[in-house]
Amino acid sequence: MIRLTEVTKVFNQGRHNEHHAVKGVTLGIEDGRVTVLKGPSGSGKTTLLTLIGCLARPTSGRVHHGGRDISGLPERFLTEIRRRTFGFVFQRFNLIHGVSVLENVMLPAYPLGDDHGALRERALTLLERLGLDGKGEAKAEWLSGGEAQRVAIARALINDPQVIIADEPTANLDTALSRAFLTIIGELKAEGRTVILTSHDPLVCEADVVDRVVAMRDGRLTERELVEA
């Protein structure tokens, strides 16, 4: 279980443009479930996602992963947690242009020092699973939006993470592709993975595969979330 206790995140602290993006959030995220952080732009949901995924440190409060307080760990330990625990699907997918699809998928695994041949086979298996067999040698910039998203998902899965994190994953997709994405999320959930998304898309928030929607506004959980907690 991932647990946040009175977590805050302040940008430009002590300056004239100080901004409190997350304000005293206490939240538990259960293993093996799909959780959506919902809120308008500026609600703090993406910042909260970065704190959950060890991409940023809280200004105050505690973040626990599996009962372990990781809030004050040195960066090298946070990096290791990110690599082995999380797979990330970014809003714009962040594929590297000029590089093949296969290389994009394999990239997060290189620091772990796995055998290159075995890694390549794992990446090809993921691409085949996601309907992208035959696309391995294509350049990332040649892909359609739906193909780019599936490559991003394959890349997120290359290190066999327990937790998948996706920021506004359907923001640039049409309805059909959004439904296809949710089907993949259902498969990941069935494998026992934890999935955490940010979205304000009703198609995502109301999907059957979603176990919980956590509403945010102005850096805080809404009153309903506070009552339910």
CATH number for the domain spanning 143: value is 3.40.50.300
Q: In what order do the strands lie in the sheet with 34-38?
A: 86-89, 163-167, 194-198, 34-38, 212-217, 220-221
pLDDT in tens, 52-65: 999 989 999 999 99
pLDDT in tens, 122-166: 999 999 989 898 899 999 999 988 899 899 999 999 999 999 999
H/E stretch holding 102: helix 101-106
Q: Which domain holds residue 57?
A: 2-228
The pLDDT assigned to 225 comes to 52
Residue 9 DSSP one-character state: E
pLDDT in tens, 180-198: 899 999 999 999 999 999 9
pTM: 0.88
Total structural domains within the chain? 1
